[in-house]
Amino acid sequence: MVSEPIDSAESPFLSAMRAFMANCAYPLANQMTTSILSHSRFLARRSLGEGGRLLCLLGIAVAMCGGDGRARADVSAALTPEQAGAVLTPAQALARKDLACAWNGNGRDSLSLTVDNKSDGPLQIDIPAGQIAANRAGAAKMIVLRAAQLRVPAHGSAEASLPAAALSSANALASEPFQALSDAEPRLDGLLKYLSTQPDAPRETAQLATLCLLENIDFQKWEQFLAPQKAGDPAIQPHPTPAQVTQAVDAMGILRTVAPTQTFALANDSGLKLLALRNPWCRAKAMQLYGISIPGGDGQLPNLGQLLHTRPGDNCPICRQRALMQQGASDF
């Protein structure tokens, strides 16, 4: 079989492909056509007939656009700022009839926004830190802790999983639809500013700091907040864990930074104090928080503004303690 010569004239095969692209639901027709042309010139060099090349390029089209003809969320991540199109706030996105916005949350630590873009152009939604969303009943409210951007291709959809916290310790743990509000919570302005410089701050630590600023909860109420079991958790999970005690100590360090003049029940909790001083993961920082010093110590104090643990291998007290345990060293 002899391959066809490559020339600038469009063959009936390419004309048919252009017609197919014009009639399908794929949103990025121009980009697809460009890709198809490049592939067609490659395939023309192979010993394939018109029918064989058609089957190959149909496979390329299906792989690029998916079975329902819509661009996937990972396509939006590949968009450059120039391709992002219009930049909208969540309120502006909700007001547009060619966009379908769906918020979903569990009242505690999960909040997401899914956008279905029926317009002919890509767009970007800027979700600010401090954005508040509530369930349909208005009983459970959550706040976005850090700003996020969601890029959505034309005639496509994308989803953003947002770092968020509950605005009340009474929030039930239940996944349900949420809706964006225009409300603001100025008492959290300092915390949100601090978290913008701490991208690795554990969500639990930020959640506890949030509840301290809004409700001044003590450690007992924090344990009650942690009590509901999440899907996939063991049936019986003891609380508090060493990690949760460490998160509480970190939260107190954050509170001293963002609200130095306020007094918090968490810092006056004798039960937490005992747990923190016994916990090798956070003992050094707890001693500084509670003003305890060891006679003859080297005088090196931990930085209260530095989170004890951000990621594996960061040489924090947690990682060092784990390394000792793995070597068979005993506790203090």
Q: What is the pLDDT of residues 174-195, one digit of tens each?
A: 999 999 999 999 999 999 999 9
DSSP single-letter state for residue 121: S
pLDDT of the residue at 63: 44
Check whether 283 has a pLDDT greater than 60: yes
pLDDT of the residue at 200: 83
**Is residue 282 within 8 Å of 251, Cβ to Cβ?**
no
Q: pLDDT digit string (tens) for 3-48?
A: 434 344 445 554 555 444 444 433 344 444 444 444 444 444 444 4
Check whether 66 has a pLDDT greater than 80: no
Non-local CB neighbours of 36 within 8 Å, separated by 6+ positions = 14, 17, 21, 57, 60, 61
| Range list of β-strands (E), 192-331 | none
Confidence of residue 229 (pLDDT cuts 50, 70, 90): low
Residue 95 CA to residue 195 CA, distance in Å, equals 30
Non-local CB neighbours of 27 within 8 Å, separated by 6+ positions = 69, 70, 71, 120, 153, 154, 155, 156
**Is residue 272 within 8 Å of 255, Cβ to Cβ?**
no
For residue 243, give the nearest of 210, 206, 281 by alpha carbon: 281
Residue 276 CA to residue 279 CA, distance in Å, equals 5
b/e burial code for range 75-110 (CB count within 10 A of at least 16 → b): bbeebeeebbbeebebeebbebeebebebbbbbbbb
Q: The tokens of 34 are what? A: 């460009």
For residue 129, give the nearest of 91, 152, 163, 106 by alpha carbon: 163
pLDDT of the residue at 107: 95
Residue 85 CA to residue 82 CA, distance in Å, equals 7
| Tokens 């130095």 -> residue | 260
Non-local CB neighbours of 122 within 8 Å, separated by 6+ positions = 76, 79, 83, 84, 85, 151, 152, 153, 154
Residue 164 CA to residue 143 CA, distance in Å, equals 5
Confidence of residue 291 (pLDDT cuts 50, 70, 90): confident
Q: pLDDT digit string (tens) for 194-225?
A: 999 998 888 999 999 999 999 999 998 998 89
Q: In what order do the strands lie in the sheet with 176-181?
A: 157-162, 111-117, 99-105, 176-181, 132-135, 141-144, 164-166
- Enter the pTM of the model: 0.64
Backbone φ, ψ for residue 86 (5° rounding): -65, 145
> Would you give the end-to-end CA distance of the chain in angstroms?
80
Q: What angle do CA 74, 78, 80 make, to 5 degrees?
A: 145
pLDDT of the residue at 49: 56
